[in-house]
A and B are shown apart, each in its own frame.
Chain A
């Protein structure tokens, strides 16, 4: 059985918790491309760290001191990441027995209930929290997220607008609210909020970065460029600002384009944050554009160390190897890309169906079965447990059977029915 599980996991790849190795940094800017060393062999296909998943899950099942609320929350968070929503819920409920009024615990529980499609319970809890903390931004956002999950679109912006009126107008609050507006595609309000934050605290690092990101996403490079120049001049250690400025400096809509400077900024961003896959992705493209293919290959390699499932990394590396005349390596990476892409390409179908029918367990089970067939067992487990939460005890959904199956395939201790 174990061999079958491993084969399945290697074939499909578990999307969570691959070994996170510190990637090799791209060479310094002055380094000659021809001197860049390629690995002895190309990056292998993604292989999941099954043992790590198992040990992490085992830790969530250990007895915890009843009064250690942070330990309960941390374990619940891990369980949720591993797709085990029942364990996460049980841990949160245990914490609430000790501290029934704990705000972080109730907030986490409301979030878990929303993600599990139990909208009425989630909303009841979120409204309770909101009543207790009427000026707290997170309470408004939680309610907006529930409205979003229920496809009650107008309510989302009602809650955000109410938040703007109710919250203390601190820079932190305004920037956070701007971020939420941006994420819901309302750039006008997002920009207005960052402007308000910058009036309160001109030069505030987070407010400037948030505003710059909104401007860049909205294509307003003329305004974004001086803002990012100012930000990086005053906060040169902000890796996100460096990366964003580099992106602007290579954008056709930008009033100034400078690839060499972009490259320097990206190399600095990589130095400052060695675990940001996006930086490696962007710098690889800049290197490619400058025909520094060996350096580009090193960056794609680093990206794949961080995220072995990266489609961009596999495809980019396939192209760069082709340009370097390594046809066999190129074909190998393209083949891995094709497998990963085939695995992912049906996901939007399931997501759209769930989006339309968030409380119908059948659509969660469709997704669960597909994920299991692709080797994403933790993803499958999350969907199966959601289906079981939506229709407890329903034999027709097949959720419990799927949960037991996932547990077995993951090598976890048998799921104890009745404990959910």
Chain B
């Protein structure tokens, strides 16, 4: 289809580039755009690829067979889940599938569940745990929806999702239909979230676009390319309210969340205004991002525009993929990180006064290095334990033949870690974060989990196609840390939604226990805090979703502390 009038030319792509520009290194004059950078000592990151050594031999398939069907570009995700409560995070990986019209030879792609053996290796327990099935999988959310003490799985897909109940750590049972969350259409990221603080986890499911092989359309020039989402109508996200009896009710419309023009790929559940109710931030692909303020009564107010989160600095929607939020300046204000398409750069929407967010990605030094890449997974994680959340993004183009048509883009792209400089800016470590991060991949999901409980967050990268990467964090530093695990009693058992304030070494860090974030993936549900040089015990204040506030004093450092609601000293 023809696109536009003459001399609007060049702007679709270039104007966003203008806005993505980081002034940190190139500002030439009057603007005051150069942030005051205070270099701080930072550990040399050392991530080592231990995938093969750990015994993980799974590969992701996207079913591509030459017709360039849109869903082939989108998956996939993975998660850390301690399904058997042995204290060590296990790994679940979501696969794509062959198209019925075009099966390949060999074994059909399936999900995978790897059990952590506590010695750096993992055992494939997929079949044993009842997960040996195939679907056009996208993402996964981990949460104990029935408060039985075992985390369950919700798998999103094209053509129907799966709720897999954890049967006491012995296996998973598909309860999607009786629970009423089979869903349909094309789901992407999902998150467990207690939207009404009733102690039961509800389920938010992102939906992307309406697509079937029959409605696939031709995009591109002389040869077919993968379409952009603008070619297809969107689907509304879904909110399933947990009825408490194993069943969920679709309350999307009642909650004020129905929006069939959104094309959602990422969901972040945080209480950005600290009013005690979890809000929803949704990254949309080619449509304005969504910000829903929780009114505290099970309904939401759309504050997308008024918050400034909807669009990029140029007032145009970008191609949002993954999303995460963090108090990355340790000043109590939120920064929302959104992965975008190539030539847009990531967005870092920083909270100002009055509930308005402005994109500070260029000032923070994130926009320019991410500019050439298609960023899917994004997350904050303090990988060097200095007490300041770092920004991690994983990139990969959608078109496997992009090199043929573009001289400046590549299908395989690097995963990037930006170390927090403690002044609102980040240092780009691309290519310098250890041997595990030197090889590009078709990046999609990213998650952190401390697989050996050594206090250094390890990384899981899930590509669109090919093997995942488990990156062991072998960074040497004298920094201290603490990991906190949460058990709700009046609140949901996972403690999702608990707002945590930790003070150590004169710095107060905040974070929220939550599901979702990143892209189609979920990290370790424990909270990890780097403590830098702070070597004394720490205090932790927790505001539980039930409304209860508790403070734990003198928690020991360099270890995990379990925090149970109602059990503070």
- Chain A positions near chain B (C-beta within 8 angstroms): 145, 148, 151, 153, 157, 179-180, 182-189, 209, 212-214, 216-220, 240, 244, 247-248, 250-253, 257-260, 262, 278, 281-282, 285-286, 288-292, 310-316, 318-319, 322-323, 327, 330-331, 334-335, 337-338, 341, 345-346, 348-349, 352-353, 355-356
Q: Is B407 at the interface (CB under 8 A from chain A)?
A: yes
Task: Give, as a whole number of angstroms, the nearest-CB distance from B210 to chain A.
Answer: 9
Scoring B6, B20, B315, B345 by chain A CB atoms within 10 A of each residue's CB, the highest score goes to: B315
Task: Give, as a whole number of angstroms, the nearest-CB distance from A83 to chain B.
Answer: 19
Across-interface contacts of B9 in A (CB, < 8 A): 182, 213-214, 216-217
The reply to whether B33 and A253 contact each other, CB–CB distance below 8 Å, is: no
A331 to B308, CA, bound (A): 11
The reply to whether A278 and B305 contact each other, CB–CB distance below 8 Å, is: no
Q: Is B478 at the interface (CB under 8 A from chain A)?
A: no
Q: Is B288 at the interface (CB under 8 A from chain A)?
A: yes
SS of B interface (majority)? loop
A248 to B343, CA, bound (A): 13
In the complex, the chain B residue whose C-beta lies closest to that of A209 is B7
Task: Give, as a whole number of angstroms, the nearest-CB distance from B218 to chain A.
Answer: 5
Partner of B408, one of A180, A248, A253, A310: A253
In the complex, the chain B residue whose C-beta lies closest to that of A256 is B26
The reply to whether A183 and B356 contact each other, CB–CB distance below 8 Å, is: no
Known: A183-B2, A212-B10, A253-B17. Is A151-B218 also a contact (CB below 8 A)?
yes
Count the B residues whose beta carbon is within 8 Å of the partner chain — how many?
Answer: 72
In the complex, the chain A residue whose C-beta lies closest to that of B2 is A183
A314 to B310, CA, bound (A): 13
Q: Is B231 at the interface (CB under 8 A from chain A)?
A: yes
Q: Is B13 at the interface (CB under 8 A from chain A)?
A: yes
Across-interface contacts of B148 in A (CB, < 8 A): none
A289 to B313, CA, bound (A): 9
Across-interface contacts of A330 in B (CB, < 8 A): 356
Known: A250-B17, A259-B29, A316-B315. Is A278-B8 also a contact (CB below 8 A)?
yes
In the complex, the chain A residue whose C-beta lies closest to that of B263 is A348
Known: A247-B10, A316-B315. Is A252-B308 also a contact (CB below 8 A)?
no
Partner of B356, one of A187, A250, A322: A322
The reply to whether A349 and B261 contact each other, CB–CB distance below 8 Å, is: yes
Which of B50-58, B240-248, B365-373 lies at the binding interface? B365-373
The reply to whether A213 and B7 contact each other, CB–CB distance below 8 Å, is: yes
Known: A185-B221, A252-B17, A260-B29. Is A338-B306 also a contact (CB below 8 A)?
yes
A415 to B538, CA, bound (A): 79
Across-interface contacts of B31 in A (CB, < 8 A): 259, 289-292
Partner of B2, one of A145, A217, A258, A356: A145
The reply to whether A186 and B222 contact each other, CB–CB distance below 8 Å, is: yes
Across-interface contacts of B6 in A (CB, < 8 A): 179
Across-interface contacts of A248 in B (CB, < 8 A): 14
A353 to B232, CA, bound (A): 9
Q: Which 7 A-B pairs have the closest CB atoms?
A: A312-B315, A290-B31, A216-B10, A186-B221, A213-B9, A250-B18, A251-B17
Inter-chain pairs besides A148-B2, A260-B29, 20 sampled, C-beta below 8 Å: A145-B2, A184-B221, A189-B222, A216-B10, A219-B409, A247-B14, A248-B14, A252-B22, A252-B367, A253-B343, A285-B18, A285-B19, A292-B31, A310-B315, A314-B315, A315-B311, A318-B306, A335-B305, A349-B234, A352-B232
Across-interface contacts of A281 in B (CB, < 8 A): 15, 314-315
Q: Is B21 at the interface (CB under 8 A from chain A)?
A: yes
The reply to whether A253 and B372 contact each other, CB–CB distance below 8 Å, is: yes
The reply to whether A184 and B2 contact each other, CB–CB distance below 8 Å, is: yes
- Chain B positions near chain A (C-beta within 8 angstroms): 1-4, 6-15, 17-23, 26-33, 215, 217-218, 220-222, 225, 230-234, 260-261, 287-288, 302, 304-306, 308, 310-311, 313-316, 343, 345, 352, 354, 356, 358, 362, 367-368, 371-372, 405-409
The reply to whether B222 and A290 contact each other, CB–CB distance below 8 Å, is: no
Task: Give, as a whole number of angstroms, the nearest-CB distance from A373 to chain B.
Answer: 15
SS of A interface (majority)? helix
Known: A259-B31, A291-B31. Is A244-B23 also a contact (CB below 8 A)?
no
A311 to B314, CA, bound (A): 10
Across-interface contacts of B217 in A (CB, < 8 A): 151, 355-356
A331 to B303, CA, bound (A): 11
Across-interface contacts of B19 in A (CB, < 8 A): 285, 289
The reply to whether A183 and B4 contact each other, CB–CB distance below 8 Å, is: yes
A345 to B368, CA, bound (A): 30
Across-interface contacts of A355 in B (CB, < 8 A): 1, 217
A185 to B227, CA, bound (A): 12
A218 to B10, CA, bound (A): 8
The reply to whether B30 and A260 contact each other, CB–CB distance below 8 Å, is: yes
Across-interface contacts of A189 in B (CB, < 8 A): 222
A185 to B234, CA, bound (A): 24
The reply to whether B405 and A188 contact each other, CB–CB distance below 8 Å, is: yes
The reply to whether A315 and B315 contact each other, CB–CB distance below 8 Å, is: yes
